Amino acid sequence: MAPDTTELVKQVLKGNRRAAARLMTLTESLSPEAHAVIKQLYPHTGKAHIIGITGPPGSGKSTLVDKLIEKYRSQNLSVGVVAVDPSSPFTGGALLGDRIRMNRFASDHDVFIRSMGSRGHLGGLAWATMDVVHILDAMGKDIIMVETVGAGQAEVDIVQLAETVVLLSVPGLGDDIQTIKAGIMEIGNIFAINKADLDGADRRFVELQSALDLGQEGDGWEPPILKVIATVGEGIEDLVKAIQSHHEYLVESGEIAKNRERRCYAQLETIIEHSFIRKLLMDPDERALFDKLVTEVDQRKTDPYTAAERLILHLIKTPKK
Amino acid sequence: MVNIKNLSYSNYTGLDGHDRGAKVVARALRDAGFEVIYTGLRQTPEQIAETALQEDVDVVGLSILSGAHMRLFPEIMQLLKEREMADVLVIAGGIIPEDDFEPLKKLGIKAIFGPGTPTGEIVDFIRKHTK
């Protein structure tokens, strides 16, 4: 191992912001050096309460996060924020604008905010979001909030990362059928209706309530529905209490163990999948075989399932370098 | 290969609060494949430097219309230096009289783009001056 990774680990554990920020950049570029550092940081993680904030574009996620930071800071808790915005599928560029709403905390050294472009990853997060959360956790942040890209129906990766998911909704989005579809509606531990001063907030409340009532017998946690007006901070106190109650519920019921296991399972699965594909595309020999199989599939000389089996077999049999 | 660079586009417009120019540039950089962290209006030097640090940016873009650049830019440069971020490329735009170009360049501000600069020129400059 390169000696400078040990230094980087030490600095991050001490809470050095510059070192942490650099490491985050390395993980974003999926560098092996960064992964070496994460390996050493991992034993120091698992202490923070990780809260996911998700909801449609423009529903007020960043504004809500800003108000939550304020509350947590008033309780003297340190806060980390990861805010993900979409990358362009054409240029790879991105305009990361979540910070605008919360940059009043930029000079508070107990708050660390990091923006991320999704960089082609679907599901509402960037591939390296998990690593950035680990880094914030290792830095000793008490609360870590992960703000997803504007989520529609299927951006549900946040469940693999957060202990508590706050699903933000706003008045005027579709009818009650939307609220009983599978996907994002299932992942909220807490439902918050933002912009509750707008027309339709009560209707939204009733729709959500009846959708939740239709549900099968739950695991003992009944997701509360809260009305908030994030711009003026209304309802934030109750939201913070609900987040706290959910955490207490997880701990007292023992659900937290299952929750952790589920998250580790998903993380491991993602890493394996990703490493596999990376190895395939980076290694010249395997890449050649991959390209050859693509052509064969295209020419109908083989089918995609057989091609995949051949590749996997080849990867397993290739000795480690 | 997509050229991805971080860039914190900070606005410091004093009292009037115009950000059209900064938004045009931010958009152009996005389209050129950069990741642009847009901080919004009325940032203090401390907020700008701290954002640059936390986001680990390669470039800081400052837009200023208020005329306070000779007071604020030295402060920003100093705060970046204190954060071991002296190697970050700092560029500026907005309303800056030509007489101030020299002293600002001495401060370490690598380029100043006045009104009417084609955005492509800014993109090229950044590409040329970052790794």
Q: For B6-129, give the CATH class.
A: alpha beta
Q: What is the pLDDT of residues A61-119, one digit of tens each?
A: 999 999 999 999 999 999 999 999 988 888 888 889 889 899 999 999 999 999 999 88
For range A123-152, the mean pLDDT: 92
Within 8 A by CB and 6+ apart from A100, the residues are A62, B38, B39, B40
Using a CB-CB cut-off of 8 Å, the residues of chain A touching B82 are none
Encoding tokens for residue A159? 């469940």
Closest Cα partner for B71 from B33, B103, B37, B118? B103
pTM value? 0.89
Q: Which chain A residue is nearest to residue B55, measuring alpha carbons?
A: A114
Q: What is the pLDDT of residues A245-303, one digit of tens each?
A: 999 999 999 999 988 898 899 889 888 888 888 777 778 888 899 999 999 999 999 99
Does B1 score more than 50 pLDDT? no
Give Cα separations from A41 to A6, A25, A134, A161, A264 (angstroms).
Answer: 10, 16, 8, 17, 16
Using a CB-CB cut-off of 8 Å, the residues of chain A touching B38 are 95-97, 99-100
For strands A94-96 and A225-227, give the pairing.
unpaired
Residue contact B36–A94, C-beta within 8 A: yes
B57 Cα distance to chain centroid? 11
Confidence of residue A239 (pLDDT cuts 50, 70, 90): very high
- Residue pair A246/A190 in contact by the 8 Å Cβ criterion: yes
- Considering only the beta carbons, identify the residue of B29, B50, B83 that sits closest to A106: B50
A157 Cα distance to chain centroid? 6
Residue contact A92–B47, C-beta within 8 A: no
A214/B contact by beta carbon, under 8 A: no
B24/A contact by beta carbon, under 8 A: no
Give me chain B's average pLDDT, please. Answer: 86
Residue contact A91–B2, C-beta within 8 A: yes
Within 8 A by CB and 6+ apart from A34, the residues are A23, A26, A27, A131
Beta strands across the sheet bearing A225-227: A111-117, A79-85, A143-147, A49-54, A164-169, A190-193, A225-227
pLDDT the model gives residue A3: 47
Residue contact B46–A87, C-beta within 8 A: no
Phi, psi of A283 (to 5 degrees): -75, 125
Within 8 A by CB and 6+ apart from A54, the residues are A61, A124, A147, A148, A151, A155, A158, A165, A166, A167, A168, A184, A187
ipTM over 0.85: yes
Q: Which chain B residue is nearest to residue A28, measuring alpha carbons?
A: B4
Task: Pick from A107, A108, A109, A113 the residue to mutate for testing the B interface (most B CBs within 10 Å).
Answer: A107
Residue contact A91–B35, C-beta within 8 A: no
Give me chain A's average pLDDT, please. Answer: 88
Residue contact A115–B55, C-beta within 8 A: yes
Does B14 score more than 50 pLDDT? no
Q: Which chain B residue is nearest to residue A102, measuring alpha carbons?
A: B39
Does A147 score more than 50 pLDDT? yes
A99/B contact by beta carbon, under 8 A: yes
Question: Judged by CB atoms within 8 Å, which residues 36-55 of B form the interface with A?
Answer: 36-40, 43-44, 46-47, 50-51, 53-55
Closest Cα partner for A86 from A118, A109, A51? A118
Closest Cα partner for A311 from A282, A295, A289? A289
Using a CB-CB cut-off of 8 Å, the residues of chain A touching B33 are 88, 91-93
